[in-house]
């Protein structure tokens, strides 16, 4: 039966290529650019309708006004005994910049030389379209799923908005999850990213004319420029960054990938004042085996020690604000890290499905960027990133996706869904192809 199913899935996907590309083109036509965001209600309504036609029970709710999540559940015939699966993807796309640089409208997909072009084809409406099409194909082929299949169409990934986190907080879980974001068909985990603000606030505000009394012998004014004091904080961050580079590593990442970037600095009132407030916006990259709360603790302990060694900072210590649910609203974001377990039954079956459908071994490793997958992993859901599209094409002018890779992804995901959702919970998968 399975050999026959493999052949049928392969032939159907190849024969119905244009149907898949039309679906992707329909998704691209929704201009869901983020920022500015607040523009996904229509595309989410389209996806909700598509899922309803396939028999899904849907939950649609606003994360932000006009930016809803959609979670659809196709209940299995024997949910309690068989594995459940989450397929997760984000509908927002990157900014397009000056559209004059594009060969045609970013939201009118077109095909050329074996590629489909348009904003979001690689990141990541290609993954969403292929997943929806794979599910539709299984239904049409009469494949019954014993375990629950859950489709999460989320908002906000491009600007660190917590669409997937909202799904987790709403209680959605499964035995395994595949985030179908850009991975060039590699099966991946990822490091994490968190942003934070470090602020130094003076208790007093001084006129620029007082500066001499603050910096020369016998001046008698115990004040300081917060901009200058922030230089000590930055130096402390650089020391910690070097320490991390020497003492920490993770297989699959070049040494020193765990960085602390002083990205933005804001300080002072204007030229007639000694700066009484200065804030530094930092971006921190950390490894898959680290949690962002542990990383925050390390940074704060180190910078507090730096401040304790300075007579003025000791009485005016730095304040910290970490993360946020939106780069637009909060000016902050969190992307938790994700370790991938190659020996987990879900990962092994995904690898096996790739080999059977494409007749080669997949690359199992680490992503050099971040996705929403970390939120699922942090919730205790074994998760892998696996999707079509190359990272260099994501966010690019004339964004493109190789059509054959889109078809190959659809084949692998279809057979993986069919097998995983028909494997008993905690039962090791046996190769029955």
155 near 329, Cβ under 8 Å? no
In 3D space, the residue among 74, 80, 37 whose CA is nearest the CA of residue 54 turns out to be: 74
Round to whole Å and give the CA distance between 363 and 359. Answer: 13
Q: What's the CA gap between 27 and 44, in Å, rounded? A: 10
Element (H, E) at 192: strand 192-201
What amino acid positions are annotated as catalytic residues? 92, 157
Which of 214, 194, 238, 219 is CA-nearest to residue 334?
Answer: 194
Cβ atoms of residues 324 and 165 within 8 Å: no
What's the CA gap between 79 and 391, in Å, rounded? 36
Query: What 3-state DSSP class applies to 159?
Result: helix
Taking each helix axis as running N to C, give the angle between helix 126-140 and helix 17-28, from 0 to 180 degrees, rounded to the nearest 10.
Answer: 140
Residue 190 has, within 13 A of its CA and on its CB side, a CA count of 27
> Closest Cα partner for 314 from 322, 324, 304, 323?
304
Residue 137 to residue 135: CA distance in whole angstroms: 5
| DSSP bridge partners of 362 | none
At 260, is the secondary structure helix, strand, or coil? Answer: strand
Instruction: Name the E strands within 248-395.
Output: 260-267, 277-286, 319-322, 334-335, 364-367, 383-385
Contact by Cβ (8 Å): 363, 95: no
The runs of H, that is alpha helices, within 163-225 are 163-169, 211-215
Helix (H) or strand (E) holding 153: strand 149-154
The number of beta carbons lying within 10 Å of the beta carbon of residue 112 is: 10
349 is written with which tokens? 């079956």
């Amino acid at each position: 039966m399975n050999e026959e199913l493999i052949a049928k899935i392969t032939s159907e996907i190849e024969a119905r290529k244009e149907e898949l590309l039309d679906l992707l083109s329909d998704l691209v036509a929704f201009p869901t650019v983020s920022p500015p965001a607040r523009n996904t209600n229509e595309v989410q309504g389209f996806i909700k309708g598509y899922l309803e036609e396939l028999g899904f029970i849907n939950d649609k709710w606003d994360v932000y006004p006009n930016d809803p999540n959609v979670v659809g559940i196709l209940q299995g015939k024997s949910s309690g005994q068989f594995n459940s699966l989450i397929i997760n993807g984000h509908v927002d796309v990157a900014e397009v910049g000056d559209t004059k640089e594009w060969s045609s409208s970013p939201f009118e997909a077109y095909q050329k030389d074996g590629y489909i072009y348009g904003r979001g084809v690689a990141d990541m409406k290609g993954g969403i379209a292929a997943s929806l099409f794979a599910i539709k194909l299984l239904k049409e082929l009469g494949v019954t799923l014993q375990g629950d299949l859950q489709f999460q169409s989320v908002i906000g990934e491009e600007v660190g908005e917590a669409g997937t986190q909202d799904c987790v907080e709403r209680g959605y879980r499964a035995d395994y999850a595949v985030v179908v974001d850009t991975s060039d068909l590699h099966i991946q985990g990822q490091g994490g990213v968190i942003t934070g603000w470090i602020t130094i606030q003076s208790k007093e505000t001084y006129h620029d004319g007082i500066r001499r009394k603050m910096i020369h012998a016998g001046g008698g004014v115990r004040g300081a420029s917060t901009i200058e004091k922030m230089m000590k904080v930055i130096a402390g961050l650089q020391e910690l960054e070097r320490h991390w580079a020497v003492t920490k590593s993770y297989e699959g990442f070049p040494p020193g990938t765990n960085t602390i970037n002083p990205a933005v600095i804001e300080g002072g009132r204007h030229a007639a004042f000694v700066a009484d407030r200065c804030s530094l916006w930092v971006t921190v990259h950390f490894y898959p085996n680290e949690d962002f709360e542990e990383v925050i603790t390390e940074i704060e302990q180190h910078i507090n020690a730096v401040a304790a060694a300075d007579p003025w900072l000791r009485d005016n210590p730095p304040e910290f604000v970490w993360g946020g649910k939106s780069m637009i609203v909060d000016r902050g974001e969190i992307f938790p890290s994700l370790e991938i377990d190659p020996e987990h039954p879900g990962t092994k079956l995904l690898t096996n499905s790739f080999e059977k459908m494409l007749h080669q071994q997949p690359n199992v490793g680490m992503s050099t960027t971040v996705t929403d997958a970390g939120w699922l992993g942090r919730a205790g859901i074994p998760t892998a990133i696996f999707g079509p599209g190359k990272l260099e094409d994501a966010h690019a002018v004339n964004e493109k996706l190789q059509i054959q890779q889109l078809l190959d992804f659809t084949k692998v995901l279809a057979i993986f869904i069919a097998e995983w959702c028909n494997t008993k919970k905690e039962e090791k998968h046996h190769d029955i192809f």
